[in-house]
Amino acid sequence: MENDIPKKRNIWNLVLGLVFLGYGCFKLYGLSNSTEKGNTLDLVLAIGFVAFGIYDLWKYYKAV
């Protein structure tokens, strides 16, 4: 395959991946240092933000 054209990477996947990952880690850090019992929904959302951030970064580096 002589004419393999590399796929263009979407910069928004990188930006959103970093934002979601950073925000999710920030929320998890806040929940882990809280003295009161945290809300389960907050924990699920924070883990979801981290997972979606990792997925966006994976999409960026794989150029999906």
What would the mean pLDDT of 51-58 be, rounded to a whole number? 95
Provide the pLDDT for residue 17: 95
Provide the pLDDT for residue 37: 76
Sign, CA dihedral 38-39-41-45, equals: negative
Q: What are phi and psi of 13, to 5 degrees?
A: -65, -40
Provide the pLDDT for residue 9: 83
Tell me the per-residue pLDDT of 14-50, one tens digit each, with 9 for 90 and over.
999 999 999 999 999 998 887 777 688 999 999 999 9
Provide the pLDDT for residue 3: 66
Is residue 59 within 8 Å of 20, Cβ to Cβ?
no
What would the mean pLDDT of 50-57 be, rounded to a whole number? 96
